[in-house]
Amino acid sequence: MTEERIMRLEEKISYQFHNKLLLKQALTHSSYANEQKINKFGDYERLEFLGDAVLELVSSDYIYQQNPDMTEGKMTKLRSSIVCEPALAFCAREMGLEEYILLGKGEEATGGRGRDSIISDVMEAIIGAIYLDSGIDEAKSYIHRVILSDLENKQLFYDAKTILQEEVQKENRGVLHYGLVCEAGPEHAKVFAVNAMLDDRIIGKGTGHSKKAAEQKAAYEALIHKTYIIAD
């Protein structure tokens, strides 16, 4: 990875590393490390382990401080939705983080760059790398800035299918279901198009690299535009 690309990524994440090797390690998938014959600690897995723990602590503290009347069960549910794989991948894609991941040729060819599991792992690895580079305060600042900011809108996206189902059931508006419109692209990099349907009416459309992701986007569109509500 060139110095120019490192600087560009540091601008995107609004953090400058003292030890640039930590950033490179956070971006290195095991497939790339194996191809390049980097030693076994050269990929992001150990940093991901650390970042996962830091993220859980910081997000737990944030939820606890911001919601003094929330029960333990609701806090646990909220934290799970914030730090789950799709949520982290969503935040990473907002910065274009997936473009910088170092993948082996085989992983690249099978669509690894678009896989939520890999993108979310790298997000956690970067948190771990920032923690090692500068300590908990900088890691906390990054998490607040990238993951915990604009949480209300992100929460709507993360839980779109659940929230839409609840809204539909609340007023007995009809039967909510999702219909696959089409799938395109090679086997390793398919794109799915899905409609969110209320009875036989289309209320939202979405595309994604999995049916689940496409359904999530379709539900989010329906919630944003309130197309599930029929005017009297």
Residue 125 identity: A
121 catalytic residue (yes or no) = no
- Given CA atoms 18, 114, 212, 95 in this order, what sign does their dihedral have? positive
Residue 51 identity: G
Among candidates 128, 137, 169, which has minimal Cα distance to 45?
A: 128
Of 43, 48, 116, 124, the active-site residue reads 124
Q: Token digits for 26? A: 């956070």
Instruction: Give the single-character DSSP code of 203.
Output: E
Distance CA 119, CA 90 (A): 9
Of 48, 52, 107, 116, the active-site residue reads 52
Residue spans of alpha helices (H) in 135-188:
136-146, 151-158, 160-170
199 catalytic residue (yes or no) = no
CA 118 to chain centre: 10
CA 203 to chain centre: 24
Instruction: Give the single-character DSSP code of 52.
Output: H
Q: Which residues are catalytic?
A: 52, 124
